[in-house]
Amino acid sequence: MPRYFTEDHEWIDVDGDVGTVGISDYAQQQLGDIVFVDVPAAGRRFAKGDEAATVESVKAASDVYCPVAGTVVEGNAALEDEPALVNSDPEGEGWFFKLTLADTGDLEDLMDETAYEAFVAKL
């Protein structure tokens, strides 16, 4: 399953026409201890770059942007009771939402894992 990254530190795993979105390990490290996550409800539609979720830590609140256009099929309900999943497994069980991609062409503007690691190394 291919994984792509944005310069805002979101990741998306793509399986067919469904993408799973979360924030990178780098992003969760910068935020610190996550205390609250607000994920979008199923049926919400987003354009690429729209604010789709909110994550709050002991340091700050941050928006999570939708890396591609699409319609949400599921928000990660586990984050409501256990927002720290974003810290313990940001690129796994700490995912934020799943959506049906409106246009797979949106993926062309994103970075692969190697490009993202190089991007983060320069920060």
Report yes or no on 118 lying in a domain: no
Report yes or no on 89 lying in a domain: yes
Report yes or no on 117 lying in a domain: no
Report yes or no on 72 lying in a domain: yes
Quick one: tokens of 95?
């995912």
Report yes or no on 78 lying in a domain: yes
Q: How many structural domains comprise the chain?
A: 1
Q: What is the CATH number of the domain that holds 17?
A: 2.40.50.100
Q: What is the pLDDT of residues 5-33, one digit of tens each?
A: 999 999 999 999 999 999 999 999 999 99
Structural domain for 93, as ranges:
3-109
pLDDT exceeds cutoff 90 at 1: no
Q: What is the pLDDT of residues 45-87, one digit of tens each?
A: 999 999 999 999 999 999 999 999 999 999 999 999 999 999 9
Q: What is the DSSP letter of 95?
A: -
CA distance 104 to 90: 24
How are beta strands 34-38 and 3-5 bridged, if at all?
unpaired
